[in-house]
């Protein structure tokens, strides 16, 4: 059975969810673009499918393309050996604004940490992620950090914790040896 056989089943299980099917990479694999709001149903459907049973989320990646954030779910079925790439795009209101997305933790528990990472670095709030702190939006970065560093609109901080985030500009007062650099 080929992964492309999954598409009609998916259209039957979640009507209107599949937007586009495109080749992924050079290995003859396919990526399936699905609607952002039906990601949870799609996840359940392909997880439960007897012939494919995608039960392992290998990775969750995010990239910024124009104004949209594109999430890629790298899936694998441990039993059957299939791979599939699910893609979803979401558009934040403004380049700096956080955006909401549905969590797939219920289907794939291993999505917990990648989702937290994505929420920290890209400002995507995953609704349904159970880890405390995921709603406050800071997990990897220290508390009080402003902005989402991997967004293209991100501006580097000038200081944090009173530590200036600049190169030293040289001393104006002599040091203990009387040297001015």
Partner 1 sequence: MKSGGFHLSTIDKVLSWARSSSLWYVTTGGGCCADEILAAMGPRYDLERFGCVQQIDPRQADLLIVTGLISYKAATHLRALYDQMPAPKYVMCLGSCATGGGPFAPEFSYGVVPGADRIVPVDIYVPGCPARPEAIMNGLITLQEKIRGHQRSHPQA
Q: Which is nearer to partner 1, 33 or 145 (CB)?
A: 145
Q: How far is the CB of 157 from partner 1 (least distance, A)?
A: 6
Instruction: For residue 137, give Cα distances in angstroms to 14, 71, 104.
Output: 30, 17, 17
Please report how close the Cβ of residue 172 comes to partner 1 at its closest, in angstroms.
Answer: 16
Of 163, 164, 181, nearest to 172 by C-alpha is 181
Give the nearer residue to partner 1 in terms of CB position, either 27 or 144. 144
Which C-beta is closer to partner 1: that of 54 or that of 122?
Answer: 122
Q: How far is the CB of 168 from partner 1 (least distance, A)?
A: 7
In whole angstroms, the minimum distance from the beta carbon of 98 to partner 1 comes to 18
d(C-alpha 124, C-alpha 164), whole Å: 28
Nearest approach, Cβ of residue 70 and partner 1 (Å): 22
Cα 67-145-167 angle, rounded to 5 deg: 95
Q: In this structure, what token pair is assigned to residue 82?
A: 């299939």
Give SS3 for 77: coil
> For partner 1, which is the closer residue by CB, 8 or 164?
164
What does the CA dihedral 82, 14, 58, 66 come to, rounded to 10 degrees? Answer: 120
Nearer Cβ to partner 1, position 94 or 166? Answer: 166
Binding site for partner 1 (CB under 8 A): 140-142, 145, 149, 154, 156-157, 160-161, 163-168, 175-177
**What is the C-alpha to C-alpha distance for residues 111 and 163, in angstroms, rounded to an integer?**
34
């Amino acid at each position: 059975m080929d992964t492309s056989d999954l598409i009609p089943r998916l259209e039957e299980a979640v009507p209107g969810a599949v937007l586009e099917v495109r080749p992924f990479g050079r290995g003859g694999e396919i990526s399936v673009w699905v609607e952002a709001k039906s990601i949870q149903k799609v996840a359940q459907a392909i997880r439960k499918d007897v012939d494919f049973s995608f039960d392992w989320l290998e990775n969750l990646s995010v990239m910024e393309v124009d104004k949209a954030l594109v999430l890629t779910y790298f899936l694998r079925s441990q039993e059957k050996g299939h791979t599939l790439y699910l893609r979803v795009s979401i558009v934040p209101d403004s380049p700096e604004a956080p955006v909401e997305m549905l969590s797939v933790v219920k289907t794939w528990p291993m999505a917990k940490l990648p989702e937290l990472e994505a929420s920290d670095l890209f400002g995507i709030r995953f609704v349904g992620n159970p880890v405390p702190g995921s709603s406050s939006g800071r997990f990897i970065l220290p508390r009080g950090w402003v902005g989402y560093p991997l967004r293209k609109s991100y501006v580097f901080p000038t200081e944090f914790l009173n530590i200036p985030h600049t190169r030293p500009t040289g001393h104006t007062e002599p040091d203990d040896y009387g040297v001015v650099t």
